């Protein structure tokens, strides 16, 4: 019931955001932007996005490697469907699906996997703030009144990262403390600490390099999508837009960030002399082609796994019966 209420609240909030975004966009300009779509650049954006997704798989494999040996193919079969469910379910409930898939296919507990996911999201948040900092540093708008909002956002985000890092570091060592806790809570705390412990000194640099590659790829994909509708964003503008859109996903909203993405781009692009309609069009194309491609592939992977599972179960049952008869 609680998850359903969160989902409904997120969907309602997304629809409100969508209404606010469409109020800012001129219908004729929106239609013109979509009609001028360059499919070659759009496909290039999809390719860049999937390259970044491959780096995400490699990063998650490295994080999960702290818990046990995992293959890239297996990790991809968990991460891509998990992201697909994030696009289909409101309020990022797809993360719970990813944790459940990891439990069934890898044998790790859900709380361990959630600890790893927390670390993954912390790395992403660090990269988002880095993008925002680089964009603001290189931005040529000078003392534009709205830039102060982004500077303030950067400061608040940095503070949040520091607080969360301190909490995670404390939690990482909490399982070793001699604290009297109920057995179930102690087991949960121990599992979370094990997952959070995925960041070690020997793999911190590779994780940071992979994270940087992921966000460079996704920002390049965003630039390609807007270039496909004749919006030529500068590198700083693309970095600021990417950071703002990504930070908006921290708020539980509708599936595929419907509404929140449109509102963010409709608000940010006018700062760079582009129309709100172009922002709404670009956001919608990102959802359709980038998020949509992941959703399609992820659902296909889940369907294939569902078809194979009964066959595997039947085969195991037959083999077990044969062993009993032969015995």
- Under the banding of pLDDT at 50, 70 and 90, the label for residue 158 is confident
- Under the banding of pLDDT at 50, 70 and 90, the label for residue 325 is very low
Q: pLDDT at position 320, please?
A: 42
CA 84 to chain centre: 10
Q: pLDDT at position 309, please?
A: 73
176 has pLDDT over 60? no
Q: How far is the CA of 214 from the CAs of 55, 80, 87, in angstroms?
A: 6, 15, 18
CA separation for the pair 126, 174 (Å, rounded): 24
Contact between 263 and 21 under an 8 Å Cβ cutoff? The reply is yes
Residues 6+ positions from 127 with CB-CB distance below 8 Å: 211, 212, 214, 215
Q: pLDDT at position 173, please?
A: 59
CA separation for the pair 223, 237 (Å, rounded): 9
pLDDT, tens digit, 9 for 90 and up, residues 107-124: 998 888 888 898 898 899
- Under the banding of pLDDT at 50, 70 and 90, the label for residue 145 is low
- Under the banding of pLDDT at 50, 70 and 90, the label for residue 141 is low
Q: pLDDT at position 249, please?
A: 83
Q: How far is the CA of 120 from the CAs of 41, 65, 73, 205, 301, in angstroms?
A: 30, 13, 19, 14, 22
Residue 132 CB: number of other CB atoms within 10 A? Answer: 23
pLDDT, tens digit, 9 for 90 and up, residues 20-71: 898 989 989 899 888 889 999 999 999 999 999 999 999 999 999 888 889 9
14 has pLDDT over 60? yes
pLDDT, tens digit, 9 for 90 and up, residues 253-298: 788 899 999 999 999 999 888 999 999 999 999 999 999 999 999 9
148 has pLDDT over 80? no
181 has pLDDT over 80? no
Task: Give the residue-averaged pLDDT of 161-178.
Answer: 64
Q: pLDDT at position 250, please?
A: 77
Q: pLDDT at position 143, please?
A: 47
How much is the mean pLDDT over the chain? 84
CA separation for the pair 161, 163 (Å, rounded): 5
Q: pLDDT at position 311, please?
A: 54
């Amino acid at each position: 019931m609680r998850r359903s209420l969160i989902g409904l609240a997120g969907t309602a909030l997304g629809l409100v955001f969508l209404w606010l975004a469409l109020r800012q966009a001129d219908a004729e300009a929106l239609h013109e932007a979509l009609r001028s779509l360059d499919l070659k650049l759009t496909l290039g954006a999809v390719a860049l996005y999937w390259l970044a997704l491959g780096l995400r798989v490699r990063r998650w494999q490295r994080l999960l490697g702290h818990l046990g040996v995992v293959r890239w193919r297996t990790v991809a079969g968990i991460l891509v469907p998990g992201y697909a469910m994030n696009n289909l379910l409101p309020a990022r409930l797809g993360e719970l699906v990813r944790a459940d898939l990891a439990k069934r296919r890898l044998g790790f507990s859900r709380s361990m996997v959630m600890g790893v996911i927390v670390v993954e999201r912390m790395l992403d948040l660090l990269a988002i703030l880095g993008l925002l900092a680089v964009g603001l540093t290189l931005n040529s708008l000078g003392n534009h009144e709205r830039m102060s909002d982004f500077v303030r956002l950067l400061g608040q985000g940095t503070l949040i990262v520091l607080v969360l890092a301190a909490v995670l570091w404390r939690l990482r060592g909490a399982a070793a403390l001699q604290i009297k806790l109920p057995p179930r809570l102690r087991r949960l705390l121990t599992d979370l600490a094990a997952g959070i412990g995925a960041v070690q000194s020997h793999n911190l640099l590779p994780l940071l390099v992979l994270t940087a590659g992921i966000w460079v790829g996704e920002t390049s994909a965003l630039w390609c999508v807007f270039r496909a509708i004749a919006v030529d964003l500068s590198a700083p503008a693309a970095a600021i837009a990417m950071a703002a859109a990504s930070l908006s996903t921290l708020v539980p909203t509708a599936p595929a960030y419907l509404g929140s993405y449109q509102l963010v781009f409709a608000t940010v692009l006018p700062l760079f002399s582009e129309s709100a309609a172009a922002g709404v069009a670009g956001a919608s194309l990102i959802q359709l082609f980038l998020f949509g491609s992941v959703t399609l592939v992820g659902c296909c992977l889940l369907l294939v796994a569902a078809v194979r599972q009964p066959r595997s179960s039947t085969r195991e049952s037959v083999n077990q019966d044969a062993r009993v008869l032969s015995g």
